[in-house]
Structure 1
Amino acid sequence: MSARSFELLLETAFDSPKPPVFEEGAATVYTELEQALRDAKFSKGISREQLSFKFERLRLGVAIAFVKAFLRLADNEKSKEVLEVLQDALKAKNSREIDKIVQKRIAAFDNLYHEIFVNPQREEILHLFESTLDAGTKEELDELIMDGLELLTEVDWNPPHDTEDDDDIEPFDEDFLKSL
């Protein structure tokens, strides 16, 4: 897994080469976690809290990518609050602050499941989002990043307009329009 894969996931989800997620850039967040894991492995003094915080930032980034992709497909106004909660949590200075921000506004997450119409891609994206929240290791996040990249590259972001509904509409009566 690579920092570039994480960047691609966010770029695809936001449909932007510079997604507005991390000030320092997604690659930096990913490589900081990798470095923290190496330091912890070789006992170079990184605290458990620092390691946890770096992991949580990566997990938030992956979760944000999936929620943003879901919103692009669902266009559900109420669900936008979830994205705001996750982005606010990124501003936290430690893991406890992240938990506090999310717990305070946990009810917003229920909105992801309202007004969902049958759409397998939206359901898959929500499943990846849920799996992200359950992930406990960098390897699990790496797998979710790859699964997400695979899914998001297959998504039809601009489905064709259904002309079947247009056929049911009767054309305007030209004589009536002229009389106006």
Structure 2
Amino acid sequence: MSDLHYKELLQIAFSTEAEAAYYLTDAEKAAYTTFIKASGAERPFRFERVRLGVAMALMKMLADLGDHEESRHVLDLLHRALGARSAAEIDKIITRDAKLFERLFTNLYVNEDGEQVLHLFERTLDADTQPAMDEVIEDALAVAQELDFTREEEDED
């Protein structure tokens, strides 16, 4: 079930064909399935790819909610990390630009919806087991389905 939820979350976050084509390869869309099938030394790396997918989806939603530049920078960093070939390489890429996370959390004013998404992002970073990640995915999917991405456009009218 969580594989289906993972794919649904990606589809909601990257809702246009252009966004999906830019951010999500077939491998990223299948990351959860690949994680489930992985064994041994490959499993931690595959888990990190799922984490990156969930984190990217959340940053995309946060960016869409408030057209927030810092969340777009973090989204781009996470996207670059997808090119890594190991969990250690992912850590190296993320660590090199860790200041982007600091800016995200210090320069951010968000509404209640944005706070929910940011809290889920933190939980994604903290999740270290499949059940914990499954819970984050399910909660993120529930929040994503309730978000109103048109509110800012309506406010401008």
Q: TM-score, normalised by structure 2?
A: 0.88
State the shift of 1:142 in Å.
1.1
The question of whether the paired residues in 1 share the 8 Å contact of 2:2 and 2:137 is answered with no
Aligned length: 153
State the shift of 1:114 in Å.
4.3
The CA RMSD measured in Å over matched residues stands at: 1.8
**1:99 and 1:150 mapped to 2: Cα distance?**
29
Partner of 2:112: 120
Equivalent of 1:137 in 123, 126, 129 = 129
Cα-to-partner distance string for 1:134-171 (whole Å, 9 max, x where unaligned) = 000111111111101110111111013267xxxxxxxx
**1:86 and 1:27 mapped to 2: Cα distance?**
15
Partner of 2:30: 28
Cα-to-partner distance string for 1:2-58 (whole Å, 9 max, x where unaligned) = 32211110111122367233322444211111112xxxxxxxxx432x111000000
Gaps of 5+ in 1: 37-45, 164-180
State the shift of 1:70 in Å.
0.5
Q: TM-score, normalised by structure 1?
A: 0.78
The question of whether the paired residues in 1 share the 8 Å contact of 2:45 and 2:87 is answered with yes
The structure richer in helix per residue is: 2
Cα-to-partner distance string for 1:52-110 (whole Å, 9 max, x where unaligned) = 10000001100111111001012122332111110011100000000000000000112
**2:148 and 2:94 mapped to 1: Cα distance?**
31
Partner of 2:40: 47
Q: Give % identity.
A: 37
Query: SS of the residue aligned with 2:23?
Result: coil
Gaps of 5+ in 2: none
Partner of 2:59: 67
Single out whichever of 27-36 and 121-130 deviates more from structure 2. Answer: 27-36
Q: Which amino acid aligns with 1:138?
A: Q
Partner of 1:7: 7
1:93 aligned to 2:95?
no
**2:110 and 2:129 mapped to 1: Cα distance?**
31
**Highest Rg: 1 or 2?**
1
State the shift of 1:112 in Å.
1.8
Partner of 1:161: 155
